[in-house]
Chain A
Amino acid sequence: MTALLEVKNMTHYFGGLRAVNDFNLAINPGQIYGLIGPNGAGKTTVFNLITGVYTPTEGSVTLEGNNIKGVETHRIASMGLGRTFQNLALWRHMNVIDHIRMAHYSQLSYGLLGAFFGTPTMRKQEKEVYDNSYRLLEIFDVNQFATQNIGNLPYGAQRRVEMARAMATKPKILFLDEPTAGMTPDELVRMIEIIKQVHRDFGVAIFMIEHRMKFVMELCESIQTLVFGEVIAEGPPEEIQNNPEVIEAYLGKEDLH
Chain B
Amino acid sequence: MVEVNSVTKKYGKFKAVDDISFSVKDHEIMGFLGPNGAGKSTTMNMITGYIEPTSGKIIVNGYDISKSPKKAKIQIGYMPENVPLYNDLTVREFINYMAELKNVKRKERKDEVNKVIEETGLQDVQKKLIKKISRGYKQRVSMAGALVGNPDILILDEPTVGLDPKQITEIRSLIKKLGKSHTIILSSHILSEVSQICEKVIIINKGKILAIDTPENLEKQAQVENSIIITVEDKNKKMDTIGKKISDINSIELIKDNDDGTKQYLIVAKKESDIRKKLFEILPKEDITIFELKQSETTLEDAFLKVINSKEAEIKKEEKTNKKAKAEGKDEKKEEKDNTKTEAKQKAEAKTKVETKSNAKTETKPKANANSKTQTKPKAETKAKKQTVAKSKTDTKTNATKATKTSKKSTQKGGNK
Do A and B come from the same complex? Answer: no
